[in-house]
Amino acid sequence: MALVQHFEDTKGRGLTLRQGINAGLRAEFRENPDTFLWGQDIANKEKEGIFLVTKGFQAEFGEARVFNAPIAENYIMGTANGFSRYSEKIRVVVEGAEFADYFWPAMDQYVECSHDWYRTRGQFTPNVLIRLASGGYIGGGLYHSQTIEGSLANIPGVRIVYPTFADDAYGLARTAMKSRGPTIFMEPKALYNDPRTRCQIPEDFHVPFGKARVRREGTDVVVFSYGNALLMALKAAEECSAGASPAQAGGTLPPAGPATPISVAVVDLRSLVPLDTETILEWVKKTGRVVVAHEGPEFGGFGGEVAAFIAKEGFEYLDAPVQRVGAKFSPVPFSTNLEPAILPQPGDIAKAIQEAARF
C-alpha cells in the first residue's frame, strides 16, 4: 500500500480524483521503464501540469521520460504515435491538450492513431494514453468548458473512458497503460480535488474496459451517467428517493402532482467505448424506466447512443420513454450566473426521473 498511502491526506480519507490519476500512472511508470509523458507545462517545476495531475513525475522519472511539448496539439499526438512505433514495450502518456476544448487541432493525428491497427492488419497500433481535462462547472466559458466525448466516440479504433471517482481513475489508468492501442482518458476537471471523489484504493487495483459500475441500487428508475453528471445523478436519486420534487432538488419546474418517493438506481458507465451493454440491458429489465444523463449537449451527445441501444435491444422492457438530460445546444457561457442555465443541474435529472416514474 506504500504508493497509495503516499498520496493520502493526513486524515486517511483516501485519494481525490486528481491524486488517483497521478497514483495510477505513477505505478505504471515505476513498473515499466519504457513509459514516457509529455504535454504542455507537464514538466515545469513550478507548475507540473496546469492542474498538478502529474505533479512530481519529472522529479522521479527524469527529463528523458517526462518533458514539455510545444503548444501544438497536432505535434503532441503525432509524436506520440510515431514514438510508440520504436518498441512494443513503449507506453506513451500525453496531455492531448491542456483543456479538451483545444484538442481539435490534433484531430487528424487522432484519426491516424485510430486507424493504424486496421490499416497495418494488426501489425502496429499506437500504445498511447491521451489525457483530456474535460467539462465545465468552473466558470471557464467558451474554450475551457467543453466535454467532447460525443464527437470522439464516432471514430472507431480508440477506447474512451470517463472516470469520476479516484479508484476508477487509478484502475482505468493502469489498465490502459498495460493495453495495446490508444485510449482517450477524459477527466472531469471540476472534480479533480472534490472530496466526494475520494476513495481508498488497493495497490494492485485495475478496472477492466467495457464494464459499468452500479453506484446506487433502485427498483423504479435507473439513471445511466458518467463524469460531472454522475454526482448530480446521485444527488437527484437521493432527493427523489426521499420524495423531493425537482424544484426542491434544484430544478426549475414543479411536478405534476404531489411528489412520492421513487427508488432510483444509478449506474456509472465509466467506459464509453467499449460500452457495457450487458449491464445497461440488465438494469432496463429491472426498472423499466430509464434516464440517460451527461454533461455534454443533449443534441448529438453520447447519451443518444445509449438511448438508441435501449430502444433497439430493450424496447420490450420499457414502461416509459427514455428520458435524456444534457446541456442545452449552446456554447457554455463564461458567466457563473448563466452557466447553470446551459449545463445540466441535479434538478434537471430529478425532473427527468419524476417524468419517467409517472408516465
- Per the annotation, the verdict on 6 as an active-site residue is no
Residue 279 is which amino acid? T
Q: Is 277 exposed, middle or buried (0-12, 13-18, 19+ CB in 10 A)?
A: middle
Give first-to-last CA distance, the chain, whole Å. Answer: 49
Query: CA dist 184 to 62, 115, 319, 335, Å?
Result: 25, 14, 35, 29
What is the per-residue DSSP string for 274-309? TT-HHHHHHHHHHHS-EEEEEEEESTT-THHHHHHH
| Spatial distance between the Cα atoms of 185 and 92, rounded to a whole number of angstroms | 13
Cβ neighbors of 307 (< 8 A, separation 6 or more) are 290, 292, 322, 324
Q: How many CB atoms lie within 10 A of CB 57?
A: 22
Q: Are residues 173 and 120 in contact, defined by beta-carbon separation less than 8 angstroms?
A: no
Cell of 341: 442555465
The catalytic residue among 6, 115, 144, 294 is 144
What is the 8-class DSSP label of residue 4? H
Q: Are residues 69 and 76 in contact, defined by beta-carbon separation less than 8 angstroms?
A: yes
SS3 assignment, position 52: coil
Provide the annotated active-site residues.
144
